[in-house]
């Protein structure tokens, strides 16, 4: 299983981190070991002092493919949910300043939260609203219509370089509002008003 992740896919998020809005998708990967087991707390990593939340729409791949044309992309996706791409922002910044890859800030163990899956046919693909609450306060919210690059475009683009396989997951980028979490926080992720995951930071 591979987690294909997209950076800077919401204009306002790119701006809040002082990044240019990309003209091509920014793709990075997370290994299976990045997935936080269901119903488990996240223990604050000892290698960062600035752990950030990034809620995202995520999609599950249902069959293998390569160089998939945009008009066929939805045939390759079975489920949708929301997840979190946890980011060690201080490590990421150090890597960026040295023009180094920043996987250690993104792909570390338990850095990916996966919400419960909903079959794609049960939802309208053009009306996916999602939200993150911390301690019952909304900190991020978005809609897939706000993406710089759509899901069909993203899958078409990344399958030029990578073969996708059944069970792979696409993280589609985060909207504005990213910020730090702290020990004691309680996080809840919602898709169209339905609770998809909750976890504690310990």
pLDDT in tens, 157-193: 999 999 999 999 999 999 989 999 999 999 999 999 9
Mean pLDDT of 98-119: 95
Q: Using the 8-state DSSP alphabet, how is residue 168 labeled?
A: -
Token pair listed for 59: 């999609």
Q: Is the pLDDT of residue 152 over 90?
A: yes
C-alpha 160/C-alpha 180 separation (Å) is 34
pLDDT averaged over every residue in the chain: 94
Mean pLDDT of 51-59: 98
Q: Is the pLDDT of residue 16 over 90?
A: no
Class of residue 5 by CB neighbours under 10 A (exposed 0-12, middle 13-18, buried 19+):
buried
pTM value is: 0.94
Write down the pLDDT at residue 127: 87
Of 81, 80, 77, whose CA–CA distance to 152 is shortest?
Answer: 77
């Amino acid at each position: 299983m591979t987690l294909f992740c997209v950076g800077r896919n919401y204009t306002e998020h790119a701006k809040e981190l002082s990044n240019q809005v990309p003209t091509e998708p920014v793709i990075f990967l997370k290994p299976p070991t990045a997935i936080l087991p269901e119903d488990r707390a996240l223990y604050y990593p000892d290698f960062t002092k600035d752990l950030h939340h990034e809620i995202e729409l995520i999609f599950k791949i249902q069959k293998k493919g390569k160089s998939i044309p945009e008009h066929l992309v939805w045939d390759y996706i079975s489920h949708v949910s929301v997840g979190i791409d946890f980011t060690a922002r201080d490590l990421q910044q150090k890597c960026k300043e040295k023009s180094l890859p920043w996987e250690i800030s993104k792909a570390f163990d338990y850095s990916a939260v996966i919400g419960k899956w909903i079959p794609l046919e049960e939802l309208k693909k053009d009306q996916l609203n999602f939200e993150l609450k911390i301690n019952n306060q909304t900190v991020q919210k978005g809609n897939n219509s706000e993406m710089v690059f759509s899901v069909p475009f993203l899958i078409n683009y990344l399958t030029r370089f990578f073969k996708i396989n059944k069970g792979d997951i696409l993280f589609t980028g985060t909207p504005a509002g990213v910020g730090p979490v702290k020990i004691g926080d309680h996080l809840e992720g919602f898709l169209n008003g339905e609770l998809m995951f909750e976890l504690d930071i310990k």
